Structure 1
Amino acid sequence: LKAGVWLINVGSQYSTSERAIRMAQNYEEGVYAAVGLHPIHLLEGHYDSSELDELVKFKTKAEEFDFEKYSELAKNPKAVAVGETGLDYFHLKDLSEGEKARAKEKQKEIFAKHLELAAKAKKPAIIHCRDSSFGQKDAYQDMLAILKEAKKKEPKLKGVNHFFAGTLNEAEILFELDFLISFTGVITFVKDWNEVIKIAPLEKIMVETDAPYVAPVPYRGKRNEPLYVEEAAKKIAELKGVSFEEVARQTTLNARALFGI
């Protein structure tokens, strides 16, 4: 906060959503919360894998999505968004085909309920979307289909696809649906989204860290911190041929407008 970096602690299940609100209540401004049930927490499991040259370990427990309980959390003025919600097919790869199909249907059902909650609470949705493998656009295809249906029911629904990992075409569809895309420090060492960054309007982009994971260059191998968000902004400035200050200014405006902060 002393460096001028504000943050949103994003809940991944009920307990962490509650905790995010409690933490945000300790600050008059600059610290906020999002409430939601991450798709990976719909199943019980233990994950220990190497992702993006980083060892990632975490446990999940099968939690049922209680619409009313999350609705109460979303009413809190410090809760500025609903999420993290969405689809994660990547962590289903060790399941049988039958288990995988059932898990996907469950994720899609709960994602749609989160979008309904976001519309009811009049707050943006923070969407997580991860395909089963790189180049396999299954999760993005399903996510966009669900989002289109939700927009038909609630035209004012808005939000952001955090940790954007889609194509230029998918980004453009999100823009048409009045959703933004957000980039992490991954773009400092992976070039897959350079074209999207160059072409996407700066008014449709946000920056984030997804701390404590995937620290950007030059902090690879260390715990990621919110302060490192400027590295993603620097990379976007480089790719777009504009100043860091312009990227910082516009992405901050985008975030404040979306989250109403």
Structure 2
Amino acid sequence: MYTLQLVDTHVHWDRLPEKEWEGIVDRARRAGVVKAVAVGTDAASCTTLLRAKKRFPDFLDISLGYHPEQAVRWDEVETVLRQIREHRDLLAGVGEVGLPWYSLSEEKRSDPSDPDHKGALERLMRTAVELDLPVLLHAVHDRAEEMFRILQAHGVRKAVFHWLKAPEKTVDKIAGAGYLISVTPEVCYRSRDRELAKRVPVSQILLETDAPWRYRGPFRNRSAEPAWVRRTAEALSQIKRVSFLQVSEQTTANAARLFGWPK
């Protein structure tokens, strides 16, 4: 088992200032974070992640994808698909991919997903299944149930719902099917996320920061970085009433299971 070795399973590394990369890695390691998984959002970000992977091969794992909270540009999607195939041996997964919600009007949020977004997602998921890569998902609120159905229809076995916000019934379906759910520093202060953490077994929880996202509460006015998963793990240990060591071991083992890392 792992001992005090934490993993940040979702970070937008390309949005962190390159001049600060060395310091970010150093602070993460001093906090007990042994690895971070960086997600791609378009062709340019994927290119940056491929370069960063060469610079921090032991600390940084990468996942290439096309973020759904943007218009579908098919030439970009095709480029990302090509990057995934060309660099398969360097990848931990396919993502960030999913279905839009935040970028939609309130009226559109209850409508079925538009054909372009759904089509792009399905292309990316078929590629992930073909290449035996897990999928890192953006699917919140009304989109989580739809995403669950799409995963089942395409036979996707390995997936994580990043920073999930969804009705309890949908959360139970996701967990019941064996998919993983990641929690952020919001479990340190937000009741919604703390209730989610209570509901999901530790055996299906991952830790993430979504860095450089700017949180509220005790993190106000600062940009997140991978070292913060230690605070998230400490909060999770209080919520689940298990030791910090147990949270560290289990969440890291969960990440190893999802990404196929050696134990």
Q: Report the TM-score range of the alignment, normalised by the length of the smaller protein.
A: 0.7 to 0.9
- Report the counterpart of residue 115 of structure 2 in structure 1: 105
Query: What stretches of structure 2 of length at least 5 have no aligned partner?
Result: 1-24
- CA RMSD, aligned part only? 2.5
Residue identity matched to 1:72: R
- Report the counterpart of residue 84 of structure 1 in structure 2: 96
* Alpha-carbon separation, structure 1, partners of 2:74 and 2:212: 23
Structure number with the bigger relative contact order (C-alpha 8 A, sep ≥ 6) is 2
Residue identity matched to 1:190: R
1:71 pairs, out of 84, 90, 101, with 84
SS in 2 for 1:40: coil
Is 1:116 aligned to residue 126 of structure 2?
yes
- Cα distance, 1:211 vs structure 2: 0.4
- Report the counterpart of residue 50 of structure 1 in structure 2: none
Contact 2:182–2:205 (8 Å) recurs in 1: yes
* Alpha-carbon separation, structure 2, partners of 1:33 and 1:148: 25
- Report the counterpart of residue 19 of structure 2 in structure 1: none
- Report the counterpart of residue 60 of structure 2 in structure 1: 31
Query: What stretches of structure 1 of length at least 5 have no aligned partner?
Result: 44-60, 132-137
2:71 pairs, out of 42, 52, 61, with 42
Please state which structure has a larger fraction of its residues in helix. Answer: 2
* Alpha-carbon separation, structure 1, partners of 2:244 and 2:112: 45
Equivalent pairs counted in the alignment come to: 231
SS in 2 for 1:88: coil
Is 1:127 aligned to residue 137 of structure 2?
yes
Q: Which moved further from structure 2: 105-114 or 63-72?
A: 63-72
Pick closer, same or farther for the CA change 1:112–1:176 going to 2, 3 Å: farther
Question: Which structure 2 residues correspond to residues 175-254 of structure 1 after superposition, within 5 A?
Answer: 175-215=175-215, 217-254=217-254
SS in 1 for 2:45: helix
Residue identity matched to 2:226: P
Residue identity matched to 1:112: E
- Cα distance, 1:41 vs structure 2: 2.8
Q: Which moved further from structure 2: 10-19 or 102-111?
A: 102-111
Contact 1:9–1:33 (8 Å) recurs in 2: yes
Q: TM-score by structure 2 length?
A: 0.79
Pick closer, same or farther for the CA change 1:216–1:259 going to 2, 3 Å: farther
Q: TM-score by structure 1 length?
A: 0.79
